[in-house]
A and B are shown apart, each in its own frame.
Chain A
Amino acid sequence: MSVVVAKQLVKTYVAGDIKVEAIRGVDFSIEPASFVSFIGPSGSGKTTLLNMIGCLDPPTSGQLQVAGQDITSLSRQEAARFRGEHIGFVFQDFNLIPVLTVFENVEYPLQMVQSWPNEKRKKRVLEMLDAVGMADQAHKYPSQISGGQKQRVAVARALVTNAKLVLADEPTANLDKETANRIIDLMKQMRDEFKTTFVFSTHDPRIVDNVEITFALEDGTLHRLEKSAGGDHA
C-alpha cells in the first residue's frame, strides 16, 4: 500500500484579488521505503506540495492520502497529532531548538510530542545519534556544531519516532556541495536501515543523481523523470 497517494491535487492561494495556482491538479503516489525527490526551480510549488503532504496546509481540492488516511480535512489539532505520529520533518535551516543539547533535540519528539518511558527513550535517542554519527557530540548545543552536523541531528530527530515518512524541504540548500551529498547519502542509508520513506525537494539538479525516483515540478504541474535523465535534465 502506498504511503502517499495524490489525485487531482490542487492548491490555490488567494491574496486579495490575486489568485496563485501553486499546484494545478497533480497525480502521484509514493511507495513505502522509497527515496523520492521533487525537483524544480524556485516558485514551482515544491514547498506547497510538501506542506500538503506534511499535513501543514490543506489542499484546495483533490484527494490526498498519507499513511492510509485521508488528510484533506483534518482539524488543526488532528493535523498536529497526525504529524507527531506519522511524519518526520527536516528543514532547510535545520531548525534545532537552540536551548536544547543535541541529545535533547533528538529526545524532544519522544518527550513533548509522544510520551515514551524514560529508559526506552534514552536508549532510542542514543541509537539514532549513533546511526547518524553524532553520538560523540550528544552534549553539545546546536550553536557549537557545524551545519552538516546540525542536519544530521535533524535527520535523527525526524526518524526517532519511527515515522513512516520523512519530508525534507530543500534540506541541502544551506550546505556546501560535499556536505549536501553526504546528507543525501545519510538519508538514503537511513532509508535502507529503517525502511522509512524519504521525500525531499531541491532546486539543484546535481543532487538528484543519487535519487531513485524524481518528480519534476514546473509551474504547479508534475511529471516523473526517468532515472537516466536525472543529472542533466531541467
Chain B
Amino acid sequence: MRNIFKLAARNLFRYKRRTLLTSMLITLGVVSVLLFISVSGSFKALMVGQITDSMLGHVQIHKQGYLASVDSLPLNRNLTGKQIDKVVQVLAEEDAVEAYSMRIKLGAMFSNFIETTNIRLNAVTPVDEIKTAPLLTERILEGEKEGLLKPGEILIPELIAKGMKVKVGDGIVLVANNKDGSVNGQNFMVRGILEGISGPGGRDGMVHIEDAKTLLRIGAAEVSEVAIRLKDIDQLPAVFASLQEKLGSMKNQQGQPIFEVHTWESISPFFNIAKMIDLMTFFIKIMLVAIVLVSIMNVMIMAVYERINEIGTISAIGTLPNKILGLFVVEGFLMGVLGTAVGTAISLISIAIMNATQISFDFGRQTGLLLSPAIGVADVVLVVVIVIAIAVVASLQPAWKAAKMDPITALKHV
C-alpha cells in the first residue's frame, strides 16, 4: 500500500502544474463552501437571535384566529380566565421554557396635545418581558434602560418620536376604543425611544399591562399573546410538538380549537430568508461536488491516456488489475486530500481573520450588526469527507479502464 501511495504521489509530482491547478480548483470550491456556510450561518444565527430575543420570543400562543386578524389588533380575540390558567399550567410543566411574557396588544390614538397619530402598543409586565426578550432593553435608544418601564410610562417607537417631535420626559395622551365601543383616554410620560427592527411588532410602542387594563377598561385577566423564550433554541421542535399536543389540540364546545401555537419561524418573514440561505448552501455544495467530479475525472482520464504504455508494462510484468486500479484511485484521492487540506486551512484562517477584524453590516433598519462567522467541526468534516469521496469516485472510472486494459494493446500504443 505504501508503494501505491509513493508511485501515485510521484506521478502527481511529475505533472506539477496540472496537479496544482486541479488541487487549486478543489481548494477554491472548499473555501467557497466553508466560508459561505460560516458567514451565512453566523448571519442567520444573528438575525434569528435579534428577532427572537428582542421581540418575538421562540414560541407564541394566541387564541385561535388571533394572528389571522392581527393587523386590526382585535380585543375580542384575547385569551381569558380559564384559558390563561391552562396556558400557565402547561408552561409550568415544560422544563425547556426559560421565561414567558403575557401581552395585551392594542391600537390607540397618540396625541402630543398638538397633533394626533395612530400607534400600536404592546402592554407587558416588565420583569416577564425582560426575561422573555432580553435584547429588548438594547433597543431603548434614549431614556433609562433599567427596569424597562413603570405604570404611567410609555416607550414610543423611533418613527413616532421623530414624526411627532416628542422627547423623553414629555407628556402624551393615549385614547383607545374599548371592547364595548366606548372611548377612554389616559396620560403617559415618555420614558424612552424604541429602536425599530424588521419584522412583526418591530415598530410597536410599549406600556405597562396595568395601564392597558385601565385604558381599555378590562377588569378580569385578559391576554392577546403569550411569548415564550426557551433555554435553548435547539429544543424548539420538541417544545413546539409538546405544546401543540397539550394546547393546540384542545377544543371548545363547538369543536373548534381554542389555542393556536406558533414558532417564531411561522411568524417572522425572516424565516423564509433563512430557508433561502439553507437552499443556497445546498446548491453551493452541489456545485462543489460537480467541480470536484469534473476536474478530477478530467485529470484522471488524461493521466490514464498518457500512461497507456506504462500500464501495459506493469500489467505485462504481472501487476494485478486491482493494484493498477488502486494506483489511479489513490492519485485522485491524494489530489482530493491536497485540495481539501489547503482549502480547509485557508477557510479556517479566513474565518479567524474575519472575527479579528469585526465585520459589521446593516440589515433593514438595524445597523452595525457584528458578524462573527464560525464553523462547526461537523460541517468541516462533512465537506472534507464529501470532497475526498467524490475525488475517489471520479477516479474510479478512469482507474477501472486502466485496470482492465489488455497489456498487448497497451504496449503497442504510441
Contacts and interface: CB of A to CB of B under 8 A. Distances in A.
B318 interface: yes
Interface stretch (A16-24, A49-57, A198-206, A210-218): A49-57
B315 interface: yes
Given A91-B411, A111-B3, A112-B3, A97 B317 contact: no
A80 B324 CA distance: 12
Interface stretch (A63-71, A81-89, A185-193, A219-227): A81-89
B408 A112 contact: no
A76 B10 contact: no
Given A80-B321, A97-B310, A57 B408 contact: yes
A94 to B, nearest CB: 9
A51 B320 contact: no
A224 B176 CA distance: 123
Contacts of A98: 14, 310
B11 A99 contact: yes
B264 to A, nearest CB: 60
A95 interface: yes
A234 interface: no
Given A97-B310, A99-B11, A100-B7, A113 B318 contact: yes
A93 B411 CA distance: 10
A111 B14 CA distance: 21
A95 B313 contact: yes
Nearest to A57: B408
A46 interface: no
Nearest to A86: B318
Given A56-B407, A111-B3, A100 B10 contact: yes
B397 interface: no
Interface string B130-156: 000000000000000000000000000
B317 A77 contact: no
Contacts of A111: 3
A157 interface: yes
Which of A84, A112, A157 has the largest count of B CB atoms less than 10 A from its CB?
A112
Interface in B271-287: none
Contact of A81 (B315, B318, B411): B318
B72 interface: no
Contacts of B319: 80, 84, 112-113
B314 interface: yes
A214 B408 CA distance: 25
A77 B323 CA distance: 12
A112 B5 CA distance: 12
Nearest to B316: A89
Contact of A157 (B317, B320, B321): B317
B309 interface: yes
Given A51-B408, A91-B411, A100-B7, A56 B316 contact: yes
B313 A97 contact: yes
Interface in A145-184: 157-158
A159 B13 CA distance: 29
A109 interface: yes
Given A76-B321, A77-B321, A80-B319, A97 B408 contact: no
Which of B4, B10, B411 has the largest count of A CB atoms less than 10 A from its CB?
B411
Given A80-B320, A84-B319, A112-B314, A99 B7 contact: yes
Contacts of B310: 95, 97-98
Interface in A84-142: 84-85, 87-89, 91, 93, 95, 97-100, 108-109, 111-113
Contacts of B3: 111-112
A112 B323 contact: yes
Contacts of B408: 51, 56-57
Nearest to B12: A99
B212 to A, nearest CB: 83
Contacts of A56: 316, 407-408
A102 to B, nearest CB: 14
Interface in B344-380: none
Contacts of B411: 91, 95
Interface string B1-45: 001100100110110000000000000000000000000000000
A112 B8 CA distance: 13
Contacts of B11: 99
Contact of A83 (B13, B14, B318, B323): B318
B9 to A, nearest CB: 9
A99 B10 CA distance: 6
B320 A81 contact: yes
Contacts of B10: 99-100
A77 B319 CA distance: 10
A30 to B, nearest CB: 20
A21 to B, nearest CB: 18
A133 B321 CA distance: 33
A80 B314 contact: no
Contacts of B316: 54, 56, 83, 89
Contacts of A99: 7, 10-11, 13-14
Given A81-B320, A91-B411, A99-B13, 20 more contacts: A51-B408, A54-B316, A56-B408, A76-B321, A80-B315, A81-B318, A84-B319, A95-B310, A97-B310, A97-B314, A98-B14, A98-B310, A99-B10, A99-B11, A108-B314, A109-B317, A112-B3, A112-B7, A113-B317, A113-B320
10 contacts: A56-B407, A57-B408, A80-B318, A80-B319, A82-B318, A83-B316, A83-B318, A91-B313, A100-B7, A112-B319
Question: Which 3 A/B pairs are nearest by Cβ-Cβ distance?
Answer: A84-B318, A99-B10, A95-B313
